[in-house]
Amino acid sequence: MNKRPIIIDTDPGIDDAVALGIALYSEDLDVRLITTVNGNVNLEKVTYNMLRLMKFFNKQTPVAKGAGTPLIVEPVDASDIHGETGMDGYEFEEPDNSLLLDEHAVTAMRREIIESKEPVTLVPIGPLTNIALLLRTYPEVTKNIEEIVLMGGSTSRGNSSVMAEFNIYADPEAAKIVFSSGIPLVMAGLDVGWKALVYPEDSEILRDMNKTGNMIYHLFKKYRGGSFNHGLKMYDSCAIAYLLKPDLFETAHTFVDVELTGELTKGTTVVDLKGKMNKEPNVNVCIDIDPVAFKKWFIESIRKCN
Ligand SMILES: [Ca+2]
């Protein structure tokens, strides 16, 4: 089988770093391009982190820098979760900047999608600013996008506000554009991220497994996405897991919209599981995950890295 062509849009980010390693070393994925977006920390930091990760993983995928601010709302920041640099805890080498394209992420995505012989899958694991800009600027890309498999949203409660998940909360208007695009969408959000847990004993296995496992072990010691004792949440790896092992998930094909005007609820994904809104389903929502099988897959995937 041909490797599946994907573009990852990311804001590394400790859980992004792990997801990227798994994707880059998967024998079933062809990561054609990586684009960066303001999110966990600012655009300069996430792009620098991405280039440091490319050097670490020893891969040659081009990187393009994208949006430095959300479409309308003020930037929010998650350095309380990921540390000041966005990837605190490990001493990375200085990056080789030759992988950084001169093109803007949106232009680079357009080129990759239009020139690809097979339809491309977009995998956004940060706020959706770049994807919204792409769809609005170059709507002709739609016909060569297979689907969008994103990490974000929730069918229940949030983590940035009471009801909103971080990636949607950080740019709700962009999310609205993506969710209403008509492109097949898969949403792997908090419902599965909260169960995709890695525990201290797992991280001990990772530490001695290989170079990547050791790096992850050190990042995890600084990561505040959950506590070590109650498990660390591997949010972004859920999107990659869906691509590679969809049978880990239970999904519901349903209508999802993004709340933009709620005084208390802006950025909430309204997931109409009971069909109250009488709208055509637009998203395959991951509503549950097999946590034991996920963890096994996760550890075996890290074993394939350098
Ligand atoms: Ca992320």
Convert the pLDDT of each residue in 9-19 to its tens digit. 999 988 899 99
The DSSP symbol for 95 reads: P
Backbone angles phi, psi at 14, to 5 degrees: -70, -45
How many angstroms separate the alpha carbon of residue 78 from the centre of ligand 1?
10
d(CA 49, CA 47): 5
How many angstroms separate the alpha carbon of residue 46 from the centre of ligand 1?
10
How many angstroms separate the alpha carbon of residue 40 from the centre of ligand 1?
7
pLDDT band at 172, cuts 50/70/90?
very high
Q: Is the pLDDT of residue 185 over 90?
A: yes
- Of 108 and 202, which is predicted with more confidence? 108
How many angstroms separate the alpha carbon of residue 188 from the centre of ligand 1?
12
Q: Is the pLDDT of residue 221 over 90?
A: no
**Cβ pair 265, 164 in contact under 8 A:** yes
For residue 162, what are the contacts with CB-CB under 8 A and spacing of at least 6?
A: 264, 265
Q: Is the pLDDT of residue 182 over 80?
A: yes
CA-to-CA dists, residue 174 to 1, 75, 149, 171, 186, angstroms: 34, 13, 15, 5, 16
How many angstroms separate the alpha carbon of residue 251 from the centre of ligand 1?
21
pLDDT for 81: 80
Residue whose C-alpha is closest to residue 151's, from 18, 274, 300: 18
pLDDT tens column, 88-146: 889 999 998 999 999 999 999 999 999 999 999 999 999 999 999 999 999 999 999 99
Average pLDDT over residues 279-284: 98
pLDDT tens column, 27-67: 999 999 999 999 999 999 999 999 999 999 999 999 999 99
pLDDT for 301: 96
How many angstroms separate the alpha carbon of residue 278 from the centre of ligand 1?
32
Helix (H, G, I), strand (E, B) or coil at 151: strand
d(CA 265, CA 163): 6
pLDDT band at 227, cuts 50/70/90?
low
How many angstroms separate the alpha carbon of residue 34 from the centre of ligand 1?
13
pTM reported for the whole predicted model: 0.96
Q: Tell me which amino acid residue 241 is.
A: A
How many angstroms separate the alpha carbon of residue 7 from the centre of ligand 1?
14
How many angstroms separate the alpha carbon of residue 201 from the centre of ligand 1?
24
d(CA 142, CA 244): 23
How many angstroms separate the alpha carbon of residue 37 from the centre of ligand 1?
9
pLDDT band at 85, cuts 50/70/90?
confident
How many angstroms separate the alpha carbon of residue 82 from the centre of ligand 1?
10
How many angstroms separate the alpha carbon of residue 127 from the centre of ligand 1?
8
Backbone angles phi, psi at 179, to 5 degrees: -70, -25
Q: Is the pLDDT of residue 1 over 70?
A: no
Average pLDDT in the chain: 94
